[in-house]
Structure 1
């Protein structure tokens, strides 16, 4: 399989002979408001032209409708006939933007030989979850491919650990920037990412959703230092740069 980090949570995944795009966030650098007053968002530019990112894409997965996961530029630039999988409850809002092939991922679906299964996520813990709203993760399974668990915008909490135990994924993709809202952690930070590595000692962890938004509290360098301190080898915890492509067996 091939995994290209575009920016933030946006991934282009070549898997089972197909190309998937996850959580498209195409806004130009500094074109959206700040979350904390530190910087307009996104803080980085796209590494490629949007047409190049969209080349070959056959399926889009939208985990939730926060603007850093499905923004106005993506709604404008994505072909309206592209199939989109989303969490239940978001399908009508996506259709309102003109998309004609939108399906909620209620449990598990098979698309072109790929088994895509919805997984629980919690965009924080406690009262902040009501502000953040519902989110999903997913697993990907295909013949001859590694099993992938894309955790999404979630903290490490019991259902995430349960998914890791149940699925035994070969690759786990985390959102590891330690973003906070009203001081509450809303995605994994360095400590939780290291804990994921310990929960899945045979898996490769790919840390994404980093250095693009101003409410993040963990940089790539911070995470690498924490991994070194925690005894996690660089080959087990990959922290790709924007635009970097990983080839994973």
Structure 2
């Protein structure tokens, strides 16, 4: 398995012959407005796509979406919709998101989930786990989406957490399934009111302690309401003795995971 960090939550997963683009945000730097009124007022994304992105995208065979409604441009933006529609890339999503995506002319392939929220996936299985994208009033306004556990023969099991804080449900899920690789949001995003809407520094460290596998942190240094930096997270992981298992890739970096 290879995972390339593109930017924010956007990654490309290589599973055998398949190259799966996850949660694409393909806009140029500064296209979108700030996400806070009183702080962090830089326009989004904060950075351009890394060098080599166009070449990496040309190898993509499928796309996977964790959530996309209620204005979540950082997981599927207009540039990504245009790119996917022009190429008719098969787009894998939940039944909940399928009508929304099909209405935009995309080649939607909704998962046929069973009672355990599990579906066939490239000779293995894909399982969904509900996200909690913030609590309280903010949580009630958010689109929560899902995370995915991918289990494909010959590859490490992979948990894509999606946009979520660390909940008791996720703790239990990690203890039970112990994914060999996990990708978690680490930016500690928050609006002017309310608490974090994705994992921040402390929750990423706690997740890494719970997991016996390797943990990849993303959702960093690309959106203005995510205050956690790569350097802060790396220093905290080193102090906690977790630096060998918590990977913090730069944009464009390719990780090989056996």
TM-score range, shorter chain: over 0.9
Aligned counterparts of 1:39 and 1:140: Cα–Cα separation in 2: 35
Aligned counterparts of 1:206 and 1:214: Cα–Cα separation in 2: 21
**Matched residue count:** 247
Q: Please say if residues 80 and 98 of structure 1, whose CA atoms lie closer than 8 Å, have aligned partners that are also in contact.
A: no
Q: How does 1:7-156 map to 2 (within 5 A)?
A: 7-36=7-36, 37-48=40-51, 51-65=54-68, 66-78=72-84, 79=86, 81-104=88-111, 106=113, 107-156=117-166
Q: Which runs of 5 or more structure 1 residues have no equivalent in the other structure?
A: none
Alpha-carbon RMSD across the aligned residues, in angstroms, is: 1.5
Aligned counterparts of 1:108 and 1:84: Cα–Cα separation in 2: 17
How big is each residue's C-alpha offset from its partner over 1:50-74, in whole Å with a ceiling of 9 and x where there is no partner? 5423222121111111100000000
1:198 aligned onto 2:209: yes
Aligned counterparts of 1:25 and 1:165: Cα–Cα separation in 2: 31
Q: Please say if residues 91 and 104 of structure 1, whose CA atoms lie closer than 8 Å, have aligned partners that are also in contact.
A: no
What's the offset of the Cα at 1:108?
1.9
What's the offset of the Cα at 1:105?
6.0
The change in CA–CA distance for 1:148 and 1:115 in structure 2 (over 3 A counts) is same
Q: Please say if residues 19 and 59 of structure 1, whose CA atoms lie closer than 8 Å, have aligned partners that are also in contact.
A: yes
What's the offset of the Cα at 1:93?
1.3
Secondary structure of 2:161's aligned partner:
strand
Q: Please say if residues 16 and 143 of structure 1, whose CA atoms lie closer than 8 Å, have aligned partners that are also in contact.
A: no
What's the offset of the Cα at 1:104?
4.3
Q: Which runs of 5 or more structure 2 residues have no equivalent in the other structure?
A: none
**1:238 aligned residue:** 247
